[in-house]
Amino acid sequence: MNNIFYYETCIGKIGIEENGTAITNIYIANEISKDINLMETKLLKKANQQLQEYLKGERKIFDLPLEPNGTEFQQKVWNSLQKIPYGETNSYKDIAKSIGNIKACRAVGMANNKNPILIFIPCHRVIGSNGKLVGYAGGLNVKEKLLQIEKQNIYDN
């Protein structure tokens, strides 16, 4: 059975879920899955610590085991998202190119939207080809805040 614990952050209350070996989901506010324990574990504490460091601009790379549940295509997209450098953005077209299917922009958008591990898998770094912020499960204001944090701290150690 999975465990979840909620943490207060500068972007609101965040729930982090794990399956005993890896992070499986991030929830904004009080969303919760069925059949889940409300319990803080070592892994959840570590994930929260890294999240808080990231939000303070002190961490650029996460060092956590991640196990997002999704299709093979979604997994390809999510793996590609993890390669977008801190402080940079890509378009849906860039991601489609990176997975070898330039015509899959819309499908990439759908996979991006289904990313269960927000922030740790940085779907907030994907923007429209026109440079505009588009869709984010946590809300565009949260996406904008995450990108601002990265922009402000890109050159810090």
Half-sphere exposure of 40 (CA within 13 A, CB side): 7
- Pairwise CA distance, residues 145 & 30, whole Å: 20
Indicate which CATH number applies to the domain containing 141: 1.10.10.10
Are 82 and 39 in contact by the 8 Å Cβ rule? The answer is no
Q: Which residues contact 90 (CB under 8 A, 6 or more apart)?
A: 84, 98, 125, 126, 127
Residue 66's identity, in one-letter code, is L
User: Model-level pTM?
Assistant: 0.91
Are 16 and 4 in contact by the 8 Å Cβ rule? The answer is yes
Q: How many domains does the chain have?
A: 2
In a domain, 66, yes or no: no
Same domain, 76 and 44: no
Same domain, 82 and 120: yes
Same domain, 146 and 76: yes
Same domain, 84 and 148: yes
123: annotated active-site residue:
yes
Range of the domain at 15: 2-55
Same domain, 78 and 30: no
For each of the chain's 157 residues, which pLDDT tens digit applies? 899 999 999 999 999 999 999 999 999 876 666 678 999 999 999 999 999 999 999 999 999 999 999 999 999 999 999 999 999 999 999 999 999 999 999 999 999 999 999 999 999 999 887 777 777 777 788 889 999 999 988 776 5
In a domain, 110, yes or no: yes
Same domain, 97 and 141: yes
In a domain, 49, yes or no: yes
In a domain, 63, yes or no: no
- Residue 25: how many CB atoms within 10 A of its CB? 22
Question: Active-site residue among 111, 123, 146, 147?
Answer: 123
Same domain, 20 and 81: no
Question: What value, to the nearest 5°, has the Cα angle with vertex 72 and ends 67 and 74?
Answer: 70
Same domain, 34 and 90: no
Helical H segments across 3-157, by residue range? 42-55, 72-81, 92-98, 105-113, 140-153
In a domain, 115, yes or no: yes
Same domain, 81 and 130: yes
Same domain, 95 and 143: yes
